[in-house]
Amino acid sequence: MITKRHIIPLLLCLLLLLSIPAFASAEEVAAAEEPATVEESAVAEEPAAAEESTAADETYVKLRQDHGVYLHGNGDGTFRPDASLTRAEASTILYNLLADQSLGSLTVEYEDVVDGTWFATPIRTLASLGLYGEPTGAFRPDEPMLRSELVELLARTVPAGTEATSAFSDVPPEDPLYPAVSIVTSRGWIVGYEDGTFRPSDSLTRAQAATIFNRMLGRSADPEVCSTDYVNCFTDIQVGQWFYGDILEAAVEHSAQREGDRETWLDYPRPYTVRMHMGSQVTEVLVKRGGTLESLPQQDAQGRAITAWVTGTNADAELTASISADTDYYALFAQQFASDHWQYAEFFSDGYFRPAWYATRSFVCNMFYTQLASKSRGSYSADFSDVADGAAYAEAARTLASLGLLDTAKGFRADDYITRGELASLFGRLKGAGSSTRSFSDLETRPQLQRAAAWAVDQGWIEDVGDGAFHPNRPLTRAQVVVAVNGFLGRRPDTLSASQMDSRFLFPDVPADHPAFADIMEATVAHNYTMGTEGESWSRYWRARPSIGLWMNSDQVVNASVITNSVGYRYLGNWSYNYNMDYSAGRKEAFVNGQGYTSRTNYLVWVSIQNQKVYIFTGSKWNWKLYKTFVVATGAPGHDTPVGVTTIYGHQTGFFTDHYSCYNATLFYPVSDYAFHSRLHKPHGGEGWVDTTIGMPVSKGCIRMFDEDAVFMYKQIPLYTTVVIY
């Protein structure tokens, strides 16, 4: 006998079971159970609200009246609408619908329901309330819930004494199942098939369960809300399927109000807005919660190519990231770089470069900042809690961050090592990664970095490790970074000029045979150049040094020289102390040896009119080696120092007049007064100077020198030494 006490629990159990499957044959049930559209499903075959409310009020087992979730997915984003509803799933659903989940008075001892299983508590609770007949023996939790079992559960929720009739060929009046089938089908909760059968032994699908329980509960989907896919939390159902709206009604948390046969959702998981900022242009798209963007624009309305997309903290905006809030993404555009090849890589104050040391983020940040054509700030977040005002890298860090190039979420971390991934990301943001067929196994969830890394490896800027992975967290050495950045900037070293570098430009720890030698010279030496098919050809080069003020000695000036690779005999300076041109040591030796000059002593002197220098060589023909370089002042226009090849023919203490005195004269061009001598002192041994000018042509044909240099010539250079003036 079915009592009122049993009816409610059985109904609850049936509700839970129905929330998982539905009917046995989707094809045969189509006409009876499937709604044609989401809107039709909202009103199809619903029971009267008043009748259901009365039934609920008369039962001692109360069901939840809210529109909360009672039917769940599978934890992997799927719902499995066509899967059979198991008895364990049905029990769990009904248990979740109970307003009071306290245990009943019956003792439960199911041999196949053990502690720790996900369905143990729901099954034991429902059985203790008398919803499952005998609460002992085997429960069979993994077996499908049958239509006969479901209608018996649903019928037990109807007040005792309720009667109804039905006419199914396979459930005659004398069948014990007849009362339950009649009660449930008369209310429209479950219907039969077109051939007049009920098929009590068929199992139910999860989709059918959603439809049945919604009818019993008087719930239906909001057709307007559910007509889009934004509230759909499952990957295996979609708009247009007969069960789509019912599954969302059962599986999506919401509140609702009802007007007639229509339900309106008031509060539900609305889609998030993704705002895509492209300069002054903003495009908005809606994305369902937990969903992802299908694509991001590759150019703006003006046709400008977008190099990358970043978040509000300048992190990569990856398409694989699930959207969990209203989000702003910002487009980056290619940066312009200076055409001048200024030195951009810093070295240490002790004169070492330390190529094998790992490169710090501050080192790399300063490199890129130096090369930007414009140093103007952008509009992106540039606040770093760990960047102090006045820090050597502060302006560079804040400027690059303001352009969207640096992720600000974790601070600047100036002394952290730059990684392969960070450098590749910078490359991609600065120019925009080109297409590539290459992929790395450890970047599958980071498509934006995947593109940038593949591009950098394809271009040869960053080494391919060779194991199929990119290893984005590995640090890079200073030498590796310089090679990579040179390649990225299109800077191709002049290997000939690099090979002729002398001590003014060399680093003790970067020998000429170092694999990155030429690249390090390219990055640490400023130069004028022309680009050819084989790389750069430098016309002159220099390295920034502190201002030297008024020149006081040759060493000071020569060490700060601008190097020219063009040998000439005309003065090319700017007639100021700002001018200081020179040749590299290799260029000097190549010139005198290439000309085949000889000398009767083991010295050779070259006077460079172009650079206002005197070069002292030791050795012999074809094998002259640079020994000294002195800054001088040759003849002014109209008093030009004669060019050609001559010889040292005498020494004297100096020249003395009423207007000036000069000391330590070394004579050249026989039968003339041309000489190397000091600058002009006051006459008659007076203290001070008449003219201290040097480094530009100002004399009457002689060659003025710093005093100590004139003394060297006077004491060290012997007679008959060859002098080349060119």
**pLDDT tens per residue across span 145-174:** 999 998 888 887 787 788 899 999 999 999
Instruction: Give Cβ neighbours of residue 647 (< 8 Å, ≥ 6 apart).
Output: 600, 668, 670, 719, 720, 721, 722, 723
Neighbours of 255 (CB within 10 A): 12
Residue type, 376: S
How far apart, in Å, are the Cα atoms of 20 and each of 90, 114, 146, 174, 359?
6, 22, 12, 30, 58
pLDDT of residue 546: 63
Whole-angstrom distance, CA of residue 3 vs CA of residue 61: 13
Answer yes or no: are the C-beta atoms of 706 and 694 closer than 8 Å: yes
Percent of the chain whose predicted confidence (pLDDT) is above 70: 91
Whole-angstrom distance, CA of residue 524 vs CA of residue 546: 15
**pTM above 0.85?**
no
Q: Which of 83-87, 127-131, 266-270 has the highest mean pLDDT?
A: 83-87
Averaged pLDDT, 465-469: 96
Q: Binning pLDDT at 50, 70 and 90, where does residue 39 land? A: very low
Whole-angstrom distance, CA of residue 586 vs CA of residue 501: 7
CA angle 283, 284, 287 (to 5 degrees): 140
Tokens of 38: 């989401």
Q: Binning pLDDT at 50, 70 and 90, where does residue 6 land? A: very low
Whole-angstrom distance, CA of residue 550 vs CA of residue 693: 10
Whole-angstrom distance, CA of residue 75 vs CA of residue 447: 25
Residue 36 has pLDDT above 80, yes or no: no
Averaged pLDDT, 592-596: 97
CATH architecture of residue range(s) 561-725 = Beta Barrel (2.40)
Residue 646 has pLDDT above 70, yes or no: yes
Collapsing DSSP to helix, strand or coil, 163 comes out as coil
pLDDT of residue 271: 87
Residue 227 has pLDDT above 60, yes or no: yes
Tokens of 409: 């979420």
The one-character DSSP state at 684 is G
pLDDT of residue 606: 98
Least confident of 121-130, 282-291, 304-313, 331-340: 282-291
Residue type, 384: F
What is the C-alpha end-to-end distance of the chain, expressed in Å? 126
pLDDT of residue 157: 75
Tokens of 726: 């060119």
Instruction: Specify which residues 306 forms β-bridges with.
Output: 333
Mean of the per-residue pLDDT values of the chain: 89
Least confident of 56-70, 294-308, 447-461, 581-595: 56-70
Averaged pLDDT, 548-576: 90
Least confident of 265-279, 537-551, 625-639: 537-551
Whole-angstrom distance, CA of residue 436 vs CA of residue 422: 19
Percent of the chain whose predicted confidence (pLDDT) is above 90: 73
- Burial of residue 578 (CB within 10 Å: 0-12, 13-18, 19+) is exposed
Question: Which pLDDT tens digit goes with each residue over 514-529?
Answer: 999 999 999 999 999 9
Residue type, 700: K
Question: Which pLDDT tens digit goes with each residue over 103-127?
Answer: 999 999 999 999 999 999 999 998 9
pLDDT of residue 261: 84
Q: Binning pLDDT at 50, 70 and 90, where does residue 279 land? A: confident
Strands 603-608 vs 722-725: parallel, antiparallel or unpaired: parallel
Least confident of 64-73, 524-533, 547-556, 696-705: 547-556
Residue 677 has pLDDT above 60, yes or no: yes
